[in-house]
Amino acid sequence: MAVLTEEQTILRDQAVSWVNADAPVSAFRKLRDSGSITGFAPDTWKSICEMGWTGIVVPEAHGGSDLGYMTFGLLLEELGKQLVASPLYASGLVGATALRFAGTDAQKQNCLPAIASGEAIVTLAIDEGPRHAPDAIAMSAEKTGSGYRLNGTKSFVIEGGSATHLIVAARSGQDIVLLLVDASATGLSREVLKTADSRGYANITFKNVDVAATALMSAGHGKATLDAILDRARAGIASEMLGAASAAFDMTLEYLKTRKQFGQLIGSFQALGHRAAELYTEMELTRSAVEAALQAIDAGSKDVPLLCSLSKYKVGAFLFRMSNQLIQIHGGIGMTDEFNAGFYLKRARAVEALYGGQGFHRDRYARLSGF
């Protein structure tokens, strides 16, 4: 674990005790069993907002605390351990980041305080097909007399069902532009998805959605801005993934120390002891990559793109392996819905697909390294 400031330690400890008391995995199970279509429990969301976590990357001038991405990552890691479902990540981190990077003054003034207070849920809508492909945006933003007309579909939008605002990437002539769209706009329809992971995802269709010219966020360098936003989104979800993976590791280690077969604890079998040692080694290495990306963002390093791809790739590989081993090492118990392992496995695959999986980021790392 990185060396933390006093403030970071306090926040992290606050997160640990809140998650354990108010939002353990059993709360996520309840949410799933309730068949919720929002994908989060309203009182969970309310406490998160009250604790001010939604404002961590919002500037102080706009009602946030501006504590940075490392701090946000610490919280997401703790929440990830118990698979907490809420719009904290999608809106508090990704939405706020998009506004910071691309919002006009008026957009920032209107939306950032509302993100910080939790009144607004602002989410980013990029991908249009089954895979992350920020270079293949086809949605059109056609110039009209008073603004833009949007046509197209955005798929698998995280918290898309509950969002009050969407930041969409669209093609306007040669440019990729970002637009801030009210989710209640005429012509916009959402289909809430029932996925293996019971979090809130939605497909969103835009059919002749007319928005004012003031909806336009950044024009011209849309692609570079979009990359900067996506990298922060990747570094953030990587923290959540590290949390989920480390919880899966702890559950597995606990089982190795309690389950007996052949008259002895299964953790005494060298095959399993070595597997645990390798998983632990991989976890320690992965943590370094995840923290380095967050620290690079806070430091404004030029290595941000490289380190964010490294982080998402490494944590993706580890969570994949760890979530499979969580089931394998628990044997039959691991296969039961009553046990929590399945939730971790399902979450693992959902977040792997988000903002680029291992294949995407390995290719990008090679490209950024010049080969």
Partner 1 sequence: MTEHAALETFRSEVKTWLTQNFPKSLVGKAALYMGFDHNVPMEGDALRWRQALAERGFGAPTWPKAYGGAGLSAIEARALGEELAAAGAFNPIPLLTGMGSTMVGPTVLEYGTEDQKLRHLSPIARGEVRWCLGLSEPNAGSDLAALATKAVNKGDYWEVNGQKIWTSGADISQWCGALVRTDSNAAKRDGLSFLLFTMDQPGVTTRPIRLIAGASPFCETFFNDARGDKTDLLGPINEGWTVVKRLLQHERQSQTGAAPIASTGASLSQMAKQYVGVNDRGELNDPDLRLRLASHLMDARTHSLTLQRIAAEARGNPKVTAAASILKNSATSVAQTRAELTLEIMGHQGLGWEGSAFATDEIEAVRGWLAGKAMSIYGGSYEVQNNIISKNILGLPETTQKG
Smallest gap from Cβ 130 to partner 1, in A, equals 21
Smallest gap from Cβ 49 to partner 1, in A, equals 32
Helix axes 304-330, 270-299, angle to 10 degrees: 150
CA distances, 357 to each of 179, 180, 240, 314, 353 (Å): 25, 26, 15, 10, 5
- Which of 287/346 has CB closer to partner 1? 287
* Residue entry with tokens 């009144």: 119
Angstrom distance (rounded) from CA 290 to CA 197: 23
C-beta atoms surrounding 65 within 10 Å: 18
DSSP 3-state of 248: helix
Smallest gap from Cβ 314 to partner 1, in A, equals 6
Smallest gap from Cβ 187 to partner 1, in A, equals 39
- Which of 144/268 has CB closer to partner 1? 268
Spatial neighbors of 227 by CB under 8 A, at least 6 apart, are 134, 305
Smallest gap from Cβ 166 to partner 1, in A, equals 33
Please tell me the total number of residues recorded for the chain in this structure: 371
Angstrom distance (rounded) from CA 269 to CA 198: 36
User: In terms of DSSP H, where are the helices of 23-140?
Assistant: 25-33, 42-50, 69-81, 96-102, 105-117
- Which of 72/318 has CB closer to partner 1? 318
Q: What angle do CA 148, 149, 150 make, to 5 degrees?
A: 115
Contact (Cβ atoms closer than 8 angstroms) between residue 204 and residue 188: yes
Smallest gap from Cβ 365 to partner 1, in A, equals 5
Smallest gap from Cβ 14 to partner 1, in A, equals 22
Amino acid in position 247: A
DSSP strand pairing (147-158 vs 188-193): unpaired
- Which of 119/363 has CB closer to partner 1? 363
- Which of 214/258 has CB closer to partner 1? 258
- Which of 191/254 has CB closer to partner 1? 254
- Which of 16/265 has CB closer to partner 1? 265
Dig out the tokens for 122 from the structure.
């602002």
- Which of 12/190 has CB closer to partner 1? 12
Smallest gap from Cβ 93 to partner 1, in A, equals 22
Angstrom distance (rounded) from CA 331 to CA 328: 5
- Residues in touch with partner 1 (CB under 8 A): 1-3, 253, 256-257, 262-265, 267-270, 273-274, 276-278, 280-281, 284-289, 291-292, 310, 313-314, 362-363, 365-367, 369-371
